[in-house]
Amino acid sequence: MNNKFLDTLSWKGDATIATMTTTGGDWSSTYRPEKMFDGDIRTFWFSREKQASIKIIFKKPILFHGFQITARHELVTGRDGVRYQNVCAYLDGSQSICTHPTQNRTNNEIVTAKTPFFIEGTELLHKILTL
């Protein structure tokens, strides 16, 4: 059977499945985008800009149903978890889902946003807006 969709359930940075680009720069070489997917909760991507995004282009169409982000392992000084509010995913240019707009997050909390149904597409864009 020829399946036009990816067979994996979650994407964690595998370049054979998709390519990733970011906007907003890197705070330093310690906080590079690939750190988002290295499996180490103590590492992460940190952008220079207040508005940043992650664009993922899948090599085959996907059925998108949501995303998960692990909140940073340390306290975010003066922010009390607001940086995980209103993180939105756009599939092929249309807004699909956002994280809760007002809920604060705790250290190491898994932040989940799910659509009520699956959406087909190939280009996924996460917009990250911080105050």
pLDDT tens digits, residue range 44-61? 787 777 778 888 888 888
Residue 81's pLDDT band (cuts 50, 70, 90)? low
In a domain, 6, yes or no: no
Instruction: Please check the confidence at residue 1 and state whether its pLDDT lies above 50.
Output: no
What is the domain range of residue 74? 18-129
The span from the first CA to the last CA of the chain, in angstroms, equals 48
Burial of 35 per CB tally in 10 Å (0-12, 13-18, 19+)? middle
Average pLDDT of the residues in 1-27: 71
The pLDDT, as a whole number, for residue 4 is 56
In a domain, 26, yes or no: yes
How far is it, in rounded angstroms, from Cα 101 to Cα 96?
15
Q: How many domains does the chain have?
A: 1
In a domain, 44, yes or no: yes
77 phi and psi angles, rounded to 5 deg: -50, 120
In a domain, 5, yes or no: no
CATH code, domain with 96: 2.60.120.260
